[in-house]
Homo-oligomer: A and B are copies of this chain.
Amino acid sequence: MTTSRLEAFSDGVLAIAITLLVIEIRPPELHQGERLADALWTQWPSYLAYLVSFLTIGVIWLNHHRVFTQVIRVDGPLLLLNLHLLLWTGLIPFPTAVVAEHLHGGGEAARTAAALYSGVLLLTSVAFGALFVWVTRDDRLLGRLPPAGVIRAARRRFMLGLVVYAAAFALSWLSAGAALGLCGLMALYYAFDQASVPAAVDPVGRS
């Protein structure tokens, strides 16, 4: 098993999961005398859920790629840990659809939807954290172990995700909106954090 094949398969799953999000946004059916513009506005939780989930899976892809550019060996546990990460990431369209359908009604349904959503993101970040700890445990899978400070900083960043998603999960029993807002902020933070990485010359060249 080479890292390039592992990355290609993972990229495929992540690209499909991010693109499947759109099929959960359904064209609204109009009731008697209803205007389409109103019906479209009513679906705002669908758009919001699409946005947050798109950003979240996009950031997972960026992070996945960043980790695997360091990896030069793949062992059995890494294969399983990666499949485990894809299992939770590939599930994200489901809680996204539940939020899209049930956020609007408010009450128990909205809070449960938010709990399901932040719960799946929490498990996704646990899965990613486990993979990262395995990879950086020693230098067996890496060409060269990065400086301890860099690894500690990266682990702290993973830990931050764990804590924030756990907080969102807890918060969802109080306010569905606050819980989902926290998930959205987390994705934004990771996206801009990634964007601060300096430009790297493509080692392979244009293909």
Instruction: Please report the C-alpha to C-alpha distance between residue A87 and residue B47 in the assembled complex, in whole angstroms.
Output: 11
A108 within 8 A of B: yes
Q: Which of A7, A73, A91 has the most CB of B within 10 A?
A: A91
The answer to whether B87 and A51 have CB atoms under 8 Å apart is: yes
Give the A interface residue count (CB, 8 A).
86
Closest to A143 in B: B206
Give how many copies assemble into the complex.
Answer: 4
The answer to whether A19 and B20 have CB atoms under 8 Å apart is: yes
A186 within 8 A of B: no
Interface string of A61-95 (1 = CB under 8 A from B): 11001101101111111011001001100111110
**CB-CB < 8 A to A169: which residues of B?**
none
Q: Which of A29-37, A122-130, A144-152, A159-167 contacts B (4 or more CB under 8 A)?
A: A29-37
The answer to whether B12 and A16 have CB atoms under 8 Å apart is: yes
The answer to whether B72 and A202 have CB atoms under 8 Å apart is: yes
Q: How far is the CB of A17 from chain B (nearest CB, A)?
A: 5
- Known contacts A36-B102, A98-B27, A194-B79; A72 and B201 CB within 8 A of each other: yes
A48 within 8 A of B: no
Q: Which residues of A contact B (CB under 8 A)?
A: 1-5, 7-9, 11-23, 25-28, 30, 35-37, 40, 50-51, 54-55, 58, 61-62, 65-66, 68-69, 71-77, 79-80, 83, 86-87, 90-94, 97-98, 100-102, 108-109, 112-113, 116, 140-141, 191-192, 194-207
Q: A5-B7, A27-B94, A55-B83 are known; give 15 further A-B pairs, CB within 8 A.
A: A4-B204, A5-B11, A9-B61, A12-B15, A13-B19, A20-B23, A22-B93, A22-B94, A36-B109, A36-B112, A71-B206, A74-B199, A76-B195, A76-B196, A141-B199
Q: Could you pull out 11 A-B pairs where Cβ atoms are within 8 angstroms?
A: A2-B200, A2-B207, A18-B90, A23-B93, A36-B98, A51-B87, A54-B90, A72-B202, A73-B201, A76-B198, A141-B199
